[in-house]
Amino acid sequence: MKPVAIFRHSRIEGPGYFSWWLETRRIPWRLVRIDAGEAVPADPRAFSGLALMGGPMSVNDPLPWVAAVLELVRQAAAADVPVLGHCLGGQLLAKALGGTVAANPVKEIGWGRVAVADSSAGRDWFGETREFLSFHWHGETFSLPAGAALLASSPHCAHQAFAVGPHLGLQCHVEMTPGLVRAWCAAGAEEIAASRASPAVQTPEEMERDLDARIAQLRAVADRLYSRWAEGLAR
């Protein structure tokens, strides 16, 4: 089986639980370190799927790798290579497929409820889950590309998840581990302090409260989403 390519755009925003999920199911994967200057692969067909992780930058920034990633995602869509986007990755997927990325009404940092769409697409991807507590860290969000099905929303962000065929874009972070939450809180202390006017921004103490239990519940949601997405991987 060809590996899943996991694109890391920031050193502390790695694949987290997603890589563990792949390994426990013996699905090979390869980390593409965009943050370290690694070149964007030329052909998506070298992989069974593409997974795009988060990052502090915007897809609208004039960064040298953004255009190449967008083109790779478009090629993957044309070749039926499944793409999975987490936060920035979801925004890259949306923009590559014709959507737009702009400022969210408020910044979201911390834990918040997400409601699953009461639709056939929502049930297809999330199963019986109708609502869940997810982790968030974003100031921008995506519009829905043409043909996309809205899968989930939250009070502070209308578009939390969408699907186009085998491709899944997430605004929220279902890949979190306790270590990732703590690392982001430490590295993002200044951003948290500067964003406290937002009703959707929590303190580090709030984010780390009952952390193991929250992560365990989030993993159940991630398991369902990753399993559904992996159905499209070429084996």
Whether 235 maps to a domain, the answer reads: no
The pLDDT value given to residue 163: 98
Whether 57 maps to a domain, the answer reads: yes
Give the separation between CA 192 and CA 197, rounded to whole angstroms.
Answer: 10
Give the mean pLDDT of 120-140: 98
Domain that holds residue 122: 4-230
Using one digit for the tens of pLDDT, what is the confidence trace for 20-57? 999 999 999 999 999 999 999 999 999 999 999 999 99
Statement: the pTM of the whole predicted model exceeds 0.95? yes
CB 204 within 8 A of CB 191: no
The pLDDT value given to residue 234: 79
Give the separation between CA 143 and CA 99, rounded to whole angstroms.
Answer: 5
Asked if pLDDT for residue 180 goes beyond 80, the answer is yes
Give the mean pLDDT of 132-141: 98
Whether 62 maps to a domain, the answer reads: yes
Number of compact structural domains in the chain: 1
pLDDT confidence bin for 235, thresholds 50/70/90:
confident
Give the separation between CA 232 and CA 235, rounded to whole angstroms.
Answer: 9
CB 15 within 8 A of CB 51: yes
Residues 6 or more apart whose Cβ sits within 8 Å of residue 220: 129
CATH of the domain at 87: 3.40.50.880
Whether 160 maps to a domain, the answer reads: yes
Q: What is the DSSP string of 120-161?
A: HHHHHHHTT--EEEEEEEEEEEEPPPTTPEEEEEETTEEEEE
Asked if pLDDT for residue 77 goes beyond 80, the answer is yes
CB 160 within 8 A of CB 171: yes
pLDDT confidence bin for 198, thresholds 50/70/90:
very high
Whether 89 maps to a domain, the answer reads: yes
